[in-house]
Structure 1
Amino acid sequence: MTAAPAASSPSTVSHRIAVAGASGRMGHMLIEAVRAADDCQLAGALDREGSPTLGSDAGAFLGFASGVAVTADLRAGLGGAQLLIDFTRPEGTMAHLAVCRELGVQAVIGTTGFSEAQKAEIAEIAKDIAIVMAPNMSVGVNVTFKLLEMAAKALSTGYDIEVIEAHHRHKVDAPSGTALKMGEVIADALGRDLKECAVYGREGVTGERDPSTIGFATIRGGDIVGDHTVLFAGTGERIEISHKSSSRAGYAQGSLRAVRFLAGKKNGLFDMFDVLGLR
């Protein structure tokens, strides 16, 4: 009697991912993470016009042939993808999203520095495609946001709040998107509007500190990946909640969690609290 063939295990779902800024530091980290993930496949690699890597294999920096060429042609780069991961600059991301909307490609956005008008446009685009947008894709940073919300509610009176952040010399926006998000989380927990209570710099004779303000201090130098500390300074004590990144790997892994969260979603604007169930 011939034995029946063993039932085959269900195939692993493959998320076909395009990476924007494929030749940059974060782009390289994302491509490496996609390659290492059993359920992900690199399907596109975008870079700006004039990049010396255009036409080369996106996996060349790792010493392997991905079969995906780096391109500045958005439709070509996104045509075979289900989803784009974008850590570039606001103008580039907005151009990418316009084509994502046209092609029905979902997006995970880690770009920071958007204007209010650009944020409104992204919300409009999210009516047609599913988007996860967060100023920081790190799982640890988003848990830190939750801790800050809890701390702000418990330390709502008698504590001065300062957000201190440090990044590498190449970062072009300040304060960082993560620092601003920290301020927003704290302000929301306290029932304040960050636009009205934020202080972004101090110089000269400033007078006494207004206890209702949230201060920001920015450091830029070297190759610092990203350090953020929130100081709650009271009388006789201070509480510091910090997150320090030693590499961009955490951002890449958080991005892949966002990719998996979007599976099956048709539209909507989400953030990492949605991805991690932190609401």
Structure 2
Amino acid sequence: MSAPLRLLIHGASGRMGQALLRLAAERDDLQVVAAFSRSQPTQRVVDGVPQFASAELDGAPEFDVAIDFSLPQGFDPVLALCARRGKALVSGTTGLSSAQNAAINEAASGIAVVWAANYSLGVAVLTELVRRAAAALPGWDCDVIEAHHTRKLDAPSGTALHLGAAAEIGRGAAPHYASLRAGDIVGEHTVQFAAAGERLELIHRATNRDIFARGALEAALRVAHQAPGRYGLAELMFPNL
């Protein structure tokens, strides 16, 4: 049996970070060797995982892949760490600036980097289906409708904008967006194509947030063996799609 993949989790105290730690602990092919959070940890080891503050990144133990779900202001140090050590990075941090996106592209000349706004494997497939449908139906109306819980502030969601960008690539025109905030909806996205007398809907519904953490862990396993470059989730997980 091969040695487990060594993971560094950056943004470990957040909702996604906690899910990553919990789900990784259930697997034999993954080992979390360090968990980094913005604040100084009250315990140095929790459930066998060493805990650090983000300010201590330079002293991180050896790892194979870093998974980052933090904030834009915390993204640069973890990207720089991976670039210095020649290690792959999987990131779902949103709100990155154009300069930070340029830094990803620069780092990708030396390391493998995956960035995605949504790590659901279903959404990765949906994105490609949307692009293909939009290319096949260029004259149809296109709308992206998304629904989330009442605590979500941004609208349209990052995933809706990502799906809309795929539609725009396919059809050469931007879609319309509609957003709903209600109850505790985890996330629902519908891309609708409509013409006289018919309508096509492509839908993804998330019922559990663990799907995003599972997708990121699977991406880490894949990207660890990839050549340097910037990878999308769909091309990494479904190269023959």
TM norm structure 1: 0.78
Correspondence for 2:202? 241
1:75 aligns with 2:58: yes
More strand by share: 2
1:140 aligns with 2:125: no
Distance 1:85 1:139 in 2: 16
Deviations 1:173-197 (A, max 9, x none): 443221121111111112x2xxxx5
1:56 aligns with 2:56: no
Correspondence for 1:6? none
| SS of alignment partner, residue 146 of structure 2 | strand
Q: 1:221 to 1:46 in 2, by over 3 A?
A: farther
Distance 1:123 1:74 in 2: 21
Distance 1:273 1:87 in 2: 19
Report the AA paired with residue 68 of structure 1. Answer: P
Q: Which runs of 5+ in 1 are unaligned?
A: 1-10, 60-64, 199-213
Percent same amino acid at aligned positions?
A: 38
Q: 1:215 offset after TM fit, Å?
A: 0.9
Q: How many residues align?
A: 239
Q: 1:57 to 1:185 in 2, by over 3 A?
A: same
Report the AA paired with residue 154 of structure 1. Answer: A
State the Cα RMSD in Å.
2.1
Correspondence for 1:181? 162
Deviations 1:214-267 (A, max 9, x none): 112233454332211111122222222111111122112211221121223352
Q: Which runs of 5+ in 2 are unaligned?
A: none
Distance 1:109 1:221 in 2: 28
Correspondence for 2:90? 108
1:122 aligns with 2:109: no
Q: 1:247 to 1:127 in 2, by over 3 A?
A: same
Q: Which protein has the larger Cα radius of gyration, Structure 1 or Structure 2?
A: 1
TM norm structure 2: 0.89
